Amino acid sequence: TALRELGLVAPAETPPAPAEERPVYQRADVAERLEHSKAFQALTRQVEVKLGKKLTTPDVGILLGLTDYLGLPEGVVYLLVCHCVERVQRRFGEGRRPGMKQIEKEGYAWARMGIDTQAAADAYLRTYAQRQGALPQYMKALQLGDRLPAPSEEKYILAWQEMGFGPEAVALAYDKTVLKCHELKWAYCNGILKKWNEAGLHTVEEIQAGDRPAARRVDQQSPRDTETEMRRYMQELHRNRR
């Protein structure tokens, strides 16, 4: 540092940004971790039971990337795997299992959200379960019946939940969408809800009050306003008679 300050050596290079994907772990890396970490051994066994298959070296390398590269504790990684399994089974039926690449992708999403402790994982999974349980209500509000939403549809609905809109507010946006487009257009409906969110309108009462025209109706005018208009009318009528 002193030599750099004196200009005698080149400035230090800016360190590179973290890689978007985990390092590729070799067989020796995997074997070393399995040999020296009982917690990682236990995680590998439990994941094999949950997925119903023997993990390959690349599979274990993905688990190693989640724990070593992302720094997720073994307990958090196991909850992550259970979450991915339940999500796939709910959509595709009992017996279906996620691939390790799916688990890895979800792990990176958890890391970006800061879900790196048991407590944070538990809180996230509780919130996720609540939002999933409410999906049928949103589908009915959108007049889509009892079917499960497609992945892209679910993404919209979860985003609306994140904004703070209940099914009743979404039903209002759906009504406005159909009135304008004559059918459900997800992007248009999303635009309505984003506009309400930016205006701080989330409940049905707030939306209905916020959507009223700014100009007051005649029957809402004050007595003074009415008197002023009457005076103007009489003056105009007087001028016309001249």
In a domain, 135, yes or no: no
Per the CB < 8 A criterion, the answer to whether 193 and 173 are in contact is yes
| pLDDT band, residue 212 (cuts 50/70/90) | low
d(Cα 84, Cα 138) in Å, to the nearest integer?
A: 23
Return all residues near 39 (Cβ < 8 A) that are at least 6 apart.
Answer: 74
Smallest CA-to-CA distance from 66 within 54, 81, 51, 56 is with: 81
Based on the domain organization, do 112 and 1 belong to the same domain?
yes
| pLDDT band, residue 17 (cuts 50/70/90) | very low
Based on the domain organization, do 232 and 148 belong to the same domain?
yes
Place of tokens 């994907």: 21
Pick left, alpha or beta for residue 135 (phi over 0 → left; psi -120 to 50 → alpha; otherwise beta). Answer: alpha
Mean pLDDT of the 85-104 span: 92
Report pLDDT for 93: 87
Based on the domain organization, do 159 and 65 belong to the same domain?
no
Report pLDDT for 237: 62
Which domain range does residue 236 map to? 143-242
Based on the domain organization, do 61 and 2 belong to the same domain?
yes
Based on the domain organization, do 112 and 166 belong to the same domain?
no
| pLDDT band, residue 8 (cuts 50/70/90) | confident
pTM greater than 0.95 (yes/no): no
| pLDDT band, residue 25 (cuts 50/70/90) | confident
| pLDDT band, residue 16 (cuts 50/70/90) | very low
| pLDDT tens per residue across span 51-86 | 999 999 999 999 999 999 999 999 999 999 999 999
Q: What is the mean pLDDT of the chain?
A: 86
In a domain, 131, yes or no: no
Residue type at 52 in one-letter notation: G
Among 82-86, 90-94, 184-188, 196-200, which stretch is predicted with the lowest mean pLDDT? Answer: 90-94
d(Cα 144, Cα 140) in Å, to the nearest integer?
A: 6
DSSP per residue, 3-47: HHHTTSSPPPPPPPPPPSS-----HHHHHHHHHH-HHHHHHHHHH
Based on the domain organization, do 158 and 66 belong to the same domain?
no
**Assigned token pair, 119:** 């407590």
The dihedral sign for the CA sequence 135, 141, 147, 149:
negative
- Looking at the predicted structure, is the pLDDT value of residue 13 above 60? no
Among 63-77, 93-107, 128-142, 206-220, which stretch is predicted with the lowest mean pLDDT? Answer: 206-220
Q: Burial, 43: exposed, middle or buried (Cβ in 10 Å; 0-12, 13-18, 19+)?
A: buried
